[in-house]
Amino acid sequence: MAPRAKSSKPLTLTQASLNLGLRVRAARRRHGFTQERLGERLGLSSNFIAHLERGSRQPSLHTIVGLARVLGVSISSLFRA
């Protein structure tokens, strides 16, 4: 029987929020969007986008779906480790 691989520790909410924010920022920049433009496309404030990218806000499921749609990425790609 093969040895079991060590399971990695689950991410904390803070780590997950930071990772999500970094992925959103990278995708936003790839598309050439400002925080203001992305916010307009989603019906959100640029302030919320800034907080999201810093990991200090957690988006709703509705916002996550919108982010994926506007940024042209899969939802899962926003959360991949």
Chain segment 37-49, per-residue pLDDT in tens: 999 999 999 999 9
**Which amino acid, residue 77?**
S
Quote the pTM value.
Answer: 0.85
Q: Is residue 8 part of a domain?
A: no
Q: Maximum Cα–Cα distance for the chain, whole Å? A: 55
Q: Is residue 43 part of a domain?
A: yes
Interval 28-34 mean pLDDT = 97
Q: Is residue 27 part of a domain?
A: yes
Containing structural domain, residue 24: 13-78
Chain segment 50-74, per-residue pLDDT in tens: 999 999 999 999 999 999 999 999 9
Q: Is residue 42 part of a domain?
A: yes
Q: Which CATH number is 22's domain given?
A: 1.10.260.40
Can you spell out the DSSP letters for 8-60? PPPPPHHHHHHHHHHHHHHHHHHTT--HHHHHHHHT--HHHHHHHHHTS----
Question: Is residue 79 very low, low, confident or very high in pLDDT (cuts 50, 70, 90)?
Answer: confident
Domain count, the chain: 1
Question: What pLDDT score was predicted for residue 7?
Answer: 56
